[in-house]
Amino acid sequence: MKIVILEGATLGIDVDISIFNQLGETVIYDATDYDTIQERIKDANVILTNRIPMKEKYISGAKDLKLICVTGTGTNHIDLNYTKSRGITVCNVGSYSTASVAQHTFAMYFYLTEHLRYYDDYVKSGEYSTKPSFADFLTRFEELNGKTWGIIGLGEIGRRVAKIAEAFGCNVIYYSTSGKNSSTDYQQVDLDTLLKTSDILSIHAPLNDTTRNLIGAKELNKMKKTAILINVARGPIINEEDLYQALKEGTIEKAGLDVFSKEPIKADHPLLSIKDGRKLLLTPHMAWTSIEARTKLIQEIYKNIEAFQKGEKRNVVE
């Protein structure tokens, strides 16, 4: 069995991916551009990919391809109709990054609201040493206790965020984009109610036709002027041009984004012109990348391939 890893760099250099050699000959590419996909997979039996498109035009020449392993959860870059017609099995990995993404969600919230960069700079600059008072009241922060935390997408990550927010004393409400997720633990509301009521709104939904551009100018204008918007799901769920205008005009107070419509974000993107870290926090799609999450991801992919070799179904995308 020949295994081809197309985007090894997305797994990180601090996790051991040599374990796949135990399952077969393994070829690792740090990154793969569209022009080299066909050549690199032409004799592959198994492909590991994160975002490289697995469409007919790219994989039709891979005559011995039997298994595509997604190094993550989303499969919108795979033509599942074509893979099914070819008898190619597709596997993904779910739940590996729940704790990591939930943790980063709150890290973003506290960075934005506690003004930690400001206070750290204030003390280290020596300015604090010159003041007569032991406390600084120039930059206000508020308690999370008593706030309403709204969640878009009450899947596994959304539920973890809800539980943590509840522990901080928040009133948790949620909107299910699919209509399939329900909970007796938290109040389900429609999108309008969520937008108008939430003090903090975090997004944990998949990207699909329903969620693309879910949050645009109309929705942002329904939010509180003091609201904080956090997206750790998929970039295109928010219309970034509209968010830029909302932040510039004070339609909402703050935002934290770990994901973008185009990744890496373009150097001329208008959001990059907002330099005030108390208004906008941007991180490079790293919420899922704790060492524990990536280690679990590798282990789960290994088990998916091992199961396939034994003729067993494991994490198969139907």
3-state secondary structure the chain: CEEEECCHHHHCCCCCCHHHHHCCEEEECCCCCHHHHHHHHCCCCEEEECCCCECHHHHCCCCCCCEEEECCCCCCCECHHHHHHHCCEEECCCCCCHHHHHHHHHHHHHHHHHCHHHHHHHHHCCCHHHCCCCCCCCCCCCCCCCCEEEEECCCHHHHHHHHHHHHCCCEEEEECCCCCCCCCCCEECCHHHHHHHCCEEEECCCCCCCCCCCECHHHHCCCCCCCEEEECCCHHHECHHHHHHHHHHCCCCEEEECCCCCCCCCCCCHHHHCCCCCCEEECCCCCCCCHHHHHHHHHHHHHHHHHHHCCCCCCECC
**Number of other CB atoms surrounding residue 34 within 10 Å:** 10
CA 253 to chain centre: 22
- Told to judge if 204 belongs to the known catalytic residues of this protein, a careful annotator would answer no
Q: Which of 234, 240, 253, 294 is flagged as catalytic?
A: 234
- Told to judge if 115 belongs to the known catalytic residues of this protein, a careful annotator would answer no
Q: Which of 56, 127, 142, 263 is flagged as catalytic?
A: 263
Q: Which of 40, 278, 285, 314 is flagged as catalytic?
A: 285
- Told to judge if 285 belongs to the known catalytic residues of this protein, a careful annotator would answer yes
150, 200 contact by CB (below 8 A):
yes
Amino acid symbol at 39: E
Which residues are designated catalytic?
A: 234, 263, 285
